[in-house]
A and B are shown apart, each in its own frame.
Chain A
């Protein structure tokens, strides 16, 4: 029997696990996200029934640590560990591939899938060459509505810079940058403590997922833009971060 009417909201965290993420306990702090998100989704079944969460890490290569999942059902949540450099191209490739895989799986299960929101967290500049990560980014985000050319499942993409992240580059990775569903870029405020910034980011990310899901309830009331806006405006209130949002 068809499940077409059941809406799934996909969220991905794409996390930098280059060696520098070990400093100041950044990675350990980030590992608190999944258990805290799980607690919130258990507490609020309206949101829990809709949200699927996935985790991709990247250094010299990218790994799908957790494919899109109802994390309430997972007893032992995966944790991130550091390794190697910072290839943005690998991260973008992996995300694109995984979104397509998830989409096919969820469609096979009959569900209706809302647009993926991807939070991209990095603490440094890419170590791969600019041409290759820019091409990978274009393959992830570019879509021509009229011709259907490009990636129809492109995600809403929220870059977050911690520590030594390159603001100019990350700012350029926001997607989309304009319109109803414009996404923010977020940067740890100057002089901040990176681990503390991540600790502050976690409840904010959870709240933005909750608010985005609630805005989506009865999608007729609130278009795709409203869910995206709820995500963006929640994040825009971040203490300790500079938020860029048109």
Chain B
């Protein structure tokens, strides 16, 4: 059999990068027996000159323990069709219902950011207010879940908490042919650019840079980061991809030059099939047992001056999260 990572073949063996360790062999019970949250979700398609691949997969640790995937993602387009919005969240494992916080944040956050981008560019958005409102929504959800209307954010965070990263990619280039994307991360979810014919560029900061012993405290909603939130920006050219990930992928990327970074850069030089992409995100790598989410948005290499995409009707915001039928169905 040829190397599945090289050929894109998807068989019984996981896509393995170097030392795969043993944890990828874990099957575990179907995720939905424990919680109404499937093991894996994907989305994919094209929007104008953008090609999109998105996958969120449960990590080996949660598969082994029979606990839910706590990562989530959501996509949206601004009402004027100018901005493609990606939101990715990583529920912190210490909170038994953090998957609910992640789900709420990505769905509500995607709609909120997309709506506001109709009237302002990313740099001018009220990010503090957006993140503050999302934190408030998580707190309210935790209060509903516990029936305790006085629950404080600090205590709510023990039940459910999630990091979040937003990215806004222009659907059309400016007059000079570039697209100035923006990203904002709260916590250790991160945004990257995979340059055409080049490597990974981290937009939102690499963890543990220059420390002898790795450590990584992180902030997660409903707790709020100190200081004002300022998005970072970079220019995308045809062939580049904006890639938004949780730390399950980001930690493996490291500074982007390691084994996983090189392998994914090769596999994602061009958009793979949606199923291949999902298998790539579910790679086997020793010690990487966390949930993983990646959303990649490629600028078509031939996209020089495309017509603006037709406006798509925004889907209704689904009530998030759906009310749980009861502890028997979604017990922590």
Contacts and interface: CB of A to CB of B under 8 A. Distances in A.
Interface of A: 1-8, 44-46, 48-50, 112-115, 152-153, 214-215, 217-226
Contacts of A5: 251-254, 258-260, 285, 287-288
Most chain B CB neighbours (cut-off 10 Å) among A1, A44, A49, A223: A49
Contacts of A6: 19, 285-288
Given A2-B257, A5-B254, A6-B19, A221 B213 contact: no
A164 B221 CA distance: 49
Nearest to A107: B212
A222 B215 contact: no
Nearest to A227: B215
A217 B260 contact: no
Contacts of A214: 61, 65, 93
B122 interface: no
B22 interface: yes
The 5 A-B pairs with the shortest beta carbon distances in the complex, nearest first, are A218-B290, A220-B247, A220-B188, A45-B22, A49-B21
Contacts of A219: 207, 214-216, 247, 251
B64 interface: yes
Interface in B205-250: 207-208, 212-218, 246-248, 250
Interface residues of B, number: 50
Contacts of A222: 92-94
B39 interface: no
Interface of B: 18-19, 21-23, 25-26, 59-61, 64-65, 90, 92-94, 163, 187-189, 207-208, 212-218, 246-248, 250-255, 257-260, 262, 285-291
B93 A217 contact: yes
Contacts of A225: 217
Given A44-B64, A224-B214, 18 more contacts: A2-B257, A2-B259, A3-B258, A8-B287, A45-B25, A45-B64, A50-B289, A113-B214, A217-B290, A218-B61, A218-B246, A220-B163, A220-B251, A221-B94, A221-B290, A223-B218, A224-B215, A226-B94
